[in-house]
Amino acid sequence: MHPDLRNLRRVRVYTHKQIDRLQPQLDRLKARLAEVEAEIQAIAPELQLPPRRYKPNPIFARGDFTRTLYAVLRQAGEPLPMTVIAVRMLALKGLDMPDRAVRERTFYRASTTLSVLHKQGRVVMSGTANKRQWKLTDL
Q: Which CATH number fits domain 64-136: 1.10.3720.10, 1.20.1530.20, 1.10.10.10, 2.40.30.110?
A: 1.10.10.10
Q: Which residues pair with 126 in a beta bridge?
A: 133
Alpha helices in the chain, H assignment, sequence order: 3-43, 64-76, 82-92, 100-119
User: What are the boundaries of each domain within the chain?
Assistant: 1-54, 64-136
Nearest CA to 59 out of 50, 69, 51 is that of: 69
Q: Report the percent of the chain where pLDDT is more than 70.
A: 98
98-116 residue pLDDT tens: 888 888 889 999 999 999 9
What is the predicted pLDDT for the residue at 139?
Answer: 55
